[in-house]
Amino acid sequence: MRVHLGSDHAGLELKEHLLNWLADEGYEVVDHGPFLYDAEDDYPVFCLRCADAVAADQQDGQQAVGVVIGGSGNGEQIAANKVMGIRAALAWSEETAELARLHNDANVLSVGGRMHTIEDMTRFVNVFLTTDYSGEPRHTRRIEMLTDYEKTGNLPPLPESAVGQVTRSQQGSGHGSGHGSGHGSGHGGPSQGDA
Co-location of 17 and 81 in the same domain: yes
Residue 162 is predicted with a pLDDT of: 87
Could you say which of 134, 152, 183 is where a domain stops?
134
pLDDT in tens, 119-152: 999 999 999 999 999 999 999 999 999 999 999 9
Q: 148 and 76, same structural domain?
A: no
pLDDT of 84 over the 50 cut:
yes
Give the model confidence (pLDDT) of 64-82 as tens digits: 999 999 999 999 999 999 9
Based on the fold, state whether residues 149 and 110 are members of the same structural domain.
no
Q: CA-CA distance, 15 to 177, in Å (whole number)?
A: 41
Q: Is 127 part of any domain? A: yes
Q: In the chain, how many domains are there?
A: 2
> What integer pLDDT is reported at residue 167 of this predicted model?
56
> What is the rounded average pLDDT for all residues in the chain?
88
Q: Are residues 103 and 155 in the same domain?
A: no
pTM of the model: 0.81
Gap between the terminal Cα atoms of the chain: 55
Whether 148 and 85 map to the same domain: the answer is no
Name, in order, each residue with C-beta under 8 angstroms of 32's C-beta and a sequence gap of 6 or more. 4, 5, 6, 46, 47, 49, 50, 53
| Cα separation, 44 vs 34, whole angstroms | 11
Per-residue pLDDT tens over the stretch 24-58: 999 999 999 999 999 999 999 999 999 999 999 99
Q: Are 115 and 92 in contact (CB under 8 A)?
A: yes
Reference 22, options 10, 46, 42, 5; nearest CA is 5
Full residue range of the structural domain in which residue 163 is found: 139-173
Per-residue pLDDT, 187: 42
User: Does a structural domain hold residue 191?
Assistant: no
Residues designated catalytic: 76, 103
